[in-house]
Amino acid sequence: MTKSILITGCSSGIGRDAAMTLRARGWRVFATCRAEADAAVLSAEGMESLALDHADPDSIKAALDEVLARTGGTLDAVFLNGAYAIPGAVEDFPRDALRAIFEANLFGPFDVIRRILPVMRAQGHGRIVNCSSVLGFAALRYRGAYIGTKFAMEGMTDTLRLELRGTGIHAILIQPGPIATMIRVKSRPHFERWIDWERSARRAEYDTILRPRLYAEDGPKDRFELPASAVTTALIAALEDARPRARYRVTFPTRLLAVLKRLLPTRTLDAVLARR
């Protein structure tokens, strides 16, 4: 029987590659995007695509209702991938900026999970795959809001995994490191909306470090950067392994930092991470 999956954040990058690859692999893919226009583009390419905005509960309900109507009330898997970043120093994030990014990156994915778990319980199986990050367990400067959402996602997914033991439903994390996506470019409007960098105590760092990186025409490329297909490879394992792992780490930096975090004292690890 054809297996079905709902994927969020499919307008580009990781979500788009996952949707296209899984469809070619025989999955029935519901590729969702925050914007109706992006969903329309995917529909024109032959995908089953709907609008689903993590920050909008009504949008989540409408998308899930439509998916379940099309499948006859079943869904084998979800891949909660949609997210964005707000570059900036922690001291410069207004409360509303934090509220907005947590709505999109954390509250929305777990709203989807809450709504789909009764379906998976009724059918006796399911895979819930959350797209975390190397920044879900290791901190880097100027990424605090995004890191906060991913650290929280890791903790809640670990808890969910324990709570689902014995149900046939697996809660799984994928932890990408540097991946070639549009996340840096797409973070610019959020930075411009929320961060008053010109009046920040760290203005010099914005001028010399953060803004040049954020607005570089071609963008700095990490030498360990991999294409989005590397995440899709991990996703396929998470979905199709008989006994899926709790975590699938993607890229060398992710695997290295997981080891260093276990081995190094905090002060030493801080010195390493402060260079990034």
Residues that are catalytic: 146
> 176 Cβ partners below 8 Å, 6+ apart?
14, 131, 133, 134, 230, 231, 234, 250, 251, 254
Phi, psi of 86 (to 5 degrees): -125, 100
Burial code (b: 16+ CB inside 10 Å, e: under 16) for 258-269 equals beeeeeeeeeeb
Beta-carbon count within 10 A of 207 CB: 12
Burial zone of 12 (CB within 10 Å; 0-12 exposed, 13-18 middle, 19+ buried): middle
